[in-house]
Amino acid sequence: MVEHILPERQLRELQKAMLDFMQTQGYTESAQAFARETNNEGFIADPKDRHHNLLAKKWTSVIRLQRKIMELESKISKMQADIDSGAIVRRANKGTGEWLPRPPAKLKLAQHRSPITCVRFHPQYTVLATASEDMTVKIWDSEAGDFERSLKGHTKAVQDMVFDNKGAVLVTCSADLTLRVWDVANEYKCVRTLHGHDHCVSAVRFLGSDKIVSASRDKTIRIWELATGYCVRTLTGHSEWVRCVDVSADARLLCSASNDQSVRVWDPATGECKADMRGHENVVEVAKFAPVNSYACLRRLSGMPPALAEKPTTANGASDENPVSGSVSANAPGLFIVSGSRDKTLKLWDATSTQLLHTFVGHDDWVRDFVFHPSGKTLISVSDDKTMRVWDLATGRCAKTIEASEHFTTCIDFSIVSPLVATGSVDTEVSLWECR
């Protein structure tokens, strides 16, 4: 007698799952014979029964696990090859926080039907959101590259999106003049639509945990209450389309980029424009505050002595919440801004003095987007020249150039959960790059 590998309970489950499969597929005689031999003659396939389609589901799971095993075996082989060649030894002093994207792309995600406009990693899980001119946002498992769901509701191109710090809410903005708030925990249900802009909404960010800030082709920047959806302040000053908006780490300052070729700094508490920086020779597509951990490199790049950097600096971002001294430490958020433009350059600005500190030259076409590396030592930009470039922030030099796509590369993001970079392109594909 053959000894059963499965326990009795699991054996009975398997038998019923097999019977369900045979009956639903029309294998009537085989099902009757199998039912007699296994003492399950009373079993009838029922869509409400927990055995329904169980065999197919288990089979699919096995295939998925086999694929994952093959991927892991491939990674192990690559790591072994690195060890054998001595590459691991050469990188021994390089922490994972300094790993950079390495070609070829690990995965290509192809579900969108129009150019990709934005890519955003979830702040806590291996989830990637991608937005497109096809009016949808798609959610993916960023580790396996599996498509999970599509968010529909916007009636024109989705231009930008952002998760809150906890990843509980996703906010999107669109050329349909609206912003939409999606509840991540509730299967990404759209819980609110914000109306108020008079033209295409280009960019969106969280301002603290309870407010949203958006930029628009109507030349304004608007601040919204997340809980009510009310617009509580409108910032005006740009003379053309406002392409981008960013928020300092302490939420006391905003910076914006515009078709009027300027980069501006704002106090969101008062709506006052604190600085107007000009130097680009074409549309400024993107502007972002530099993270505090990049300051040492940026000061070295701009020739600021370390001793001088420790002296108090006049604060652009002194708000009503902290009006004590009128000065801030050398490590206060919002002191430096980097911008990218259609003039093919990125520029580093002192947000306090509005002085241009450095120009990064290397791209051969419009600079569309960039992201700061978590280490604070490098910056990664993407461009219509189809490349992704890695810049050393201490020297200002382009340290690495990667062919990112076969068409204009429009957007980039860096995961803080796993060492992955995502890029999107006009060719409708999203590429995932492993960092090593």
324 within a domain of the structure (yes/no): no
Contacts of 101 (CB under 8 A, 6+ apart): 380, 388, 390, 402, 421, 433, 434, 435
Separation between Cα atoms, residue 250 and residue 206, nearest integer Å: 11
For residue 114, is it within any domain? yes
For residue 33, what pLDDT is reported?
Answer: 93
Residues 56 and 127 in one domain: no
Out of 59, 90, 121, pick the residue that ends a domain: 90
Q: How many domains does the chain have?
A: 2
Query: By mean pLDDT, which of 7-16, 119-128, 379-388, 400-409 is the weakest?
Result: 7-16
Q: Does 30 reside within a domain? A: yes
pLDDT at 324 over 70: no
194: pLDDT strictly greater than 70: yes
Length of the chain, in residues: 436
For residue 346, pLDDT over 70 is answered with yes
Distance, C-alpha 171 to centroid of its chain: 12
Buried b (16+ CB within 10 A) or exposed e, 102-137: eeebbbebeebeebbbbbbbbeeeebbbbbbbbbbb
Geometric angle at alpha carbon 205, from 112 and 117, rounded to 5°: 20
198: which DSSP letter? S
Task: Choose one of 90, 107, 129: the last residue of a domain.
Answer: 90
For position 159, which CATH number holds?
Answer: 2.130.10.10
For residue 43, being part of any structural domain is answered with yes
Contact 375, 390 (CB under 8 A): no
Mean pLDDT value across residues 55-81: 80
Is the C-alpha dihedral spanning 133, 137, 140, 146 positive or negative? negative
- 105, 84: one domain: no
- Nearest CA-CA partner of 395 in 308, 302, 293, 331: 302
Q: Are 120 and 235 members of one domain?
A: yes
- CATH code, 61: 1.20.960.30
Whether residue 128 sits in one domain with residue 67: no
- Average pLDDT estimate for 3-23: 81
Task: Give the range of the structural domain holding residue 38, as residue numbers without chain letter.
Answer: 8-90
The answer to whether the CB of 59 falls within 8 A of the CB of 66 is: no
Does some domain include residue 430? Answer: yes
Residues 85, 176: one domain?
A: no
Q: Residue 408 in contact with residue 368, Cβ under 8 Å?
A: yes
Tell me the mean pLDDT in the region 38-45.
Answer: 88
One domain, residues 28 and 101:
no
Same domain, 81 and 211: no
**Taking residues 253-267, what's their average pLDDT?**
98
Residues 109, 242 share a domain:
yes
Instruction: Tell me whether residue 328 is in a domain.
Output: no
Q: Is residue 204 part of a domain?
A: yes
pLDDT 10s digits, 74-121:
878 877 776 766 544 444 444 556 789 999 999 999 999 999 999 999
Q: What is the rounded average pLDDT of the residues 228-247? A: 97
Contacts of 395 (CB under 8 A, 6+ apart): 301
- Among the residue ranges 103-112, 327-336, 410-419, the one predicted with the least confidence is 327-336
- Average pLDDT on 33-56 reads 86
pTM of this prediction exceeds 0.85: no
Is residue 65 very low, low, confident or very high in pLDDT (cuts 50, 70, 90)? confident
Q: Are residues 32 and 116 in the same domain?
A: no
| pLDDT class of 419 with cuts at 50, 70, 90 | very high
Does any domain span residue 62?
yes
The mean pLDDT of 53-81, rounded to a whole number, is: 80
Percent of the chain with pLDDT over 70: 90
339 and 373 in a single domain? The answer is yes
In the block, residue with structure tokens 């960039």: 370
In 44-185, at which residue ranges do the beta strands (DSSP E only) sit?
107-109, 116-121, 127-132, 137-141, 147-151, 158-163, 169-174, 178-183
Q: In the predicted model, what is the mean pLDDT of residues 404-425? A: 96
Residues 212 and 343 in one domain: yes
Where a domain ends, among 29, 58, 90?
90
140 closest CA partner among 157, 164, 116:
116
- Specify the pLDDT at position 82: 67
State mean pLDDT over 343-353. Answer: 97
CA torsion 163-165-169-173 (nearest 10°) is -30
Q: Average per-residue pLDDT in the chain? A: 89
Do 51 and 143 belong to one domain? no
pLDDT digits (tens, 9 = 90+) for 299-323: 999 998 773 444 444 433 444 343 3
